A and B are shown apart, each in its own frame.
Chain A
Amino acid sequence: MKRMNVSCLIILFALLISQTLLAQVGRPFIHDPSTVAECDGKYYTFGTGGGGLISDDGWTWYGGGVRPGGGAAPDVIKIGDRYLVIYGATGGSPNHKGAILTMWNKTLDPKSPDFKYSEPVVVATSDGYEENDAIDPGVMLDPTTGRLWLTYGTYFGFTRLIELDPKTGGLKAGNKPVDVAIVCEASTLVYRDGWYYLLATHGSCCDGANSTYNVVVGRSKKITGPYLDNVGRSMLEGGGKMVVATRGELIGPGHFGHIVLEKGVEKMSIHYEADLAQGGRSVLGILPVVWKDGWPVAGETFKEGTYEIESVRRGYGLELAVDFTRMAVGPRGFGQPNNDPIKPVAAQQLADVIKNWPTGTIGLRIGDYMSRPHQKWTITDAPDTTGYLGGPYYKIVLAGTDRALAATADAEVITVPAFTGTPEQLWRIDQLTDGTYRIMPKVVPNSGKKLALVSSGDSTPTLAEFDFNSDNSKWNFRVP
């Protein structure tokens, strides 16, 4: 948190009290959230001031998380079978004197008999005079070396890197902080394909819809930097390539946390300084991570609408397996003089063809996309309160009808005449790290398997295990 004099701190504290109260009634109100962590099937994130949010499915959040120590802007990482919780002892004190502490817990579930925090240990400090403020920790376990790294700091000077001992959570013996960025806050590290990425928040916080928070990134081949942005500017010179900025009514994203669900499916946890739709309060946000040209960027939360569902495998579109109905062919006669007026041709309408379709269950194909009624799908948030990390389940119906996409017990996919809301008619949509999408039924009837919509050959849709390395498993949504 940054740029507050005493009056602003008072306002913020008063607001935080209010927000914490509201957070307990089932809304995702939080500031400076830790990276969302999963524990025994539930999701947890902790925020400034103590406490935190819990979600059974990653979509609906409520209060109840427990983090002692107060202070601000914690982070969480699972190492082995324990969780290391890191936090700043202050919320960015006016004198910039601060400390970063770490503590362990076997579980994040406060109702578990194993729930007990270890005594916190100090791993970094700022003395109030140095060009650093020891708050806003972010932690990464290097997958190539097993070494545990922590960055910390705020707008007051430098962001610093230290190494922790992954066994104790304490500062590695003899380690000295290294400056890796300036005028950032809420930093964290990500490793990918030989690069270390330093993600950090620029702008100012804590002023509701006026907050200018945004997340930027630089990268380096060495953990100690220099971290350069896409134009070669060092983050020690203020450099950084945009990862996520304000979108629509969601103002001022900050405090990036990286969540890898599986190969090709990555999310970021952030907070928005203000969600105008939720009273302008600071809320938890979860967005897909897309990697484009070697840089992470926020993907899109799926938007309801009517789409062609395009198979990445060949580029064909998902369609109802019904007879193709020809359209009238316009005048040809190339090269012949013709001064007839040019008139538009009406597109084929649902009413033109639906009378010829069966009324019961109809199968599916993937075929040449011709912008025909049997190829257009309307996707809306299902009237269902459950979801998954970052999104709600959707219903997918043929545009203009209630005919719904559904999974079958034999792992195929069909359409049923009407949407009834049963779980096999609910669909999870995740944007993947390459920008394409995965489509999964909430359940496959009589099966515990987690299957996704895939293309078998070019033309047959079916359900199978998701494979990020195969374009068979990937889809795009195109506006028809």
Chain B
Amino acid sequence: MNRKFNYVLLFISFIVLSGLQLGALTAFAQGPGQRLPLPPIPLKGDTTHTLSKHFTTGSTTKKAPDANGFIQRWLVLEPVKKDIARNNIFTDNYLKTTFSADNFSSDYTVVPRNGSTVNVGNQELKWYALDSKTFNFNLYHFTYAINKPKYGILVWLVTVIDCPEEINDVRMAAGCNSGSMWWLNGQEAMMLSGDRDMIADNVTSTRLRLKKGKNIIRGAVINGPGMANFCVRFLDEKGVPIKNISLSYE
């Protein structure tokens, strides 16, 4: 309702301003100025909605992080649709409130099953087990592939890290477009608030402990306009990526 009102108001403003100033524009010798039609632009690749272009689906074998320690394996929930005009609304309070309200489970150690569904609000959403083919996990590609909204989305994420031994004083490191929160074994690890770009190691957690065996990471990424995207890895106390771990969906 509000959104509709805003659009109407904006269009009215636009028309009024355009009308008032069209003559001025012409008079100020801006040159031809008019936008030329785009030339024919042939498609350069496969545009079908398929996950396999950017992801490997449902692999059952354990996987190591990539050569730089980035975690490419995630259980990804279909996007929760959000009405977001600008990403700079992602304050700390906004993220905490939104992730609490639009949550599929308050148990942050739960590991969903690939293909299962959960309800968030009145939306029934499905989990996908995916390995990204790049160091980052591009949620725009994900939502395009499953033919869901690409902008104005909240996406929940889960992955399981298996550590051969306990590792102390590690830091979770992430970058995302645009806001996100991350939990390790049920505890909040870090928050990326504000209008951020997907920058490797943009934010790191305080020192954490990866226990021997399974560790569960939960994430939530939210984005309005632009390409929702994130990358996560763990760094040791010297800032070196941790790679002697394996990733699974369960």
Contacts and interface: CB of A to CB of B under 8 A. Distances in A.
Contact of B199 (A20, A21, A238): A238
A156 B30 contact: no
A360 to B, nearest CB: 52
Interface string A1-29: 01111111011011001101100100000
Interface in B35-74: 35-36, 38-39, 41-45, 47
**For the complex, would chain A's binding face be called helix, strand, loop or mixed by DSSP majority?**
loop
A129 B47 contact: yes
A93 B188 CA distance: 38
Interface stretch (B8-16, B117-125, B164-172, B207-215): B8-16
Given A3-B195, A182-B198, A202-B197, A49 B33 contact: yes
Give the interface centre of B39, B45, B197 by most chain A CB atoms within 10 Å. B197
Interface stretch (A59-67, A141-149, A323-331, A439-447): A59-67
Given A3-B86, A3-B195, A18-B17, A125 B41 contact: yes
Interface in B191-235: 194-195, 197-202, 224-227, 229, 231
A20 B25 contact: yes
Interface string B1-13: 0000011001101
Nearest to A154: B226
Given A14-B14, A51-B30, A207 B41 contact: no
Contacts, number: 157
A399 interface: no
B143 interface: no
Interface string B108-136: 00000000000000000000000000011
B86 A21 contact: no
Contacts of B86: 3, 8, 204, 207
B85 A89 contact: no
Contacts of A480: none
B249 interface: no
A114 interface: no
Q: Is the interface of B mostly helix, strand, loop or mixed?
A: loop
B248 interface: no
Contacts of A50: 30-33
A17 B17 CA distance: 8
B87 interface: yes
Interface string B22-33: 001100111111
B183 interface: no
A276 interface: no
A24 B175 CA distance: 42
Contact of B33 (A51, A97, A130): A51
A217 interface: no
Contact of A21 (B24, B29, B42, B151): B24
A49 B30 CA distance: 9
B44 A238 contact: no
Contacts of B30: 20, 50-51, 63, 66
A120 B227 CA distance: 30
A188 interface: no
A68 interface: yes
A67 B24 CA distance: 17
A382 to B, nearest CB: 31
A67 B21 contact: no
A88 B20 CA distance: 27
Given A183-B199, A212-B88, A64 B29 contact: yes
Interface size class of B (residues with CB under 8 A): 35 or more
Contacts of A13: 14
Nearest to B231: A237
Contact of B227 (A4, A156, A237): A156
Nearest to A69: B36
B41 A99 contact: yes
A212 B7 contact: no
B197 A70 contact: no
A21 B195 CA distance: 30
B18 interface: yes
Nearest to B175: A238
A237 B135 contact: yes
B31 A130 contact: no
A246 B66 CA distance: 36
A278 interface: no
Nearest to A155: B226
Given A210-B88, A237-B200, A97 B42 contact: no
B136 to A, nearest CB: 8
A464 interface: no
Nearest to A4: B225
B34 interface: yes
Nearest to B194: A212
B159 interface: no
14 contacts: A3-B225, A4-B225, A10-B10, A10-B14, A17-B18, A51-B31, A68-B32, A97-B41, A99-B41, A126-B41, A127-B45, A128-B41, A204-B87, A238-B197
Interface of B: 6-7, 10-11, 13-14, 17-18, 21, 24-25, 28-36, 38-39, 41-45, 47, 85-88, 135-136, 138, 151-152, 175, 177, 194-195, 197-202, 224-227, 229, 231
Given A18-B17, A131-B138, 18 more contacts: A5-B151, A14-B18, A17-B17, A20-B25, A20-B30, A63-B28, A69-B36, A71-B36, A89-B36, A99-B38, A127-B42, A129-B45, A130-B45, A131-B227, A203-B195, A233-B200, A237-B136, A238-B200
Interface of A: 2-8, 10-11, 13-14, 17-18, 20-21, 24, 49-51, 63-64, 66-71, 89-90, 97-99, 110, 120, 122, 125-131, 155-157, 182-183, 202-204, 207, 210, 212, 233, 237-240
Closest 7 CB pairs of A and B: A238-B199, A70-B35, A66-B31, A51-B30, A50-B33, A68-B32, A237-B200
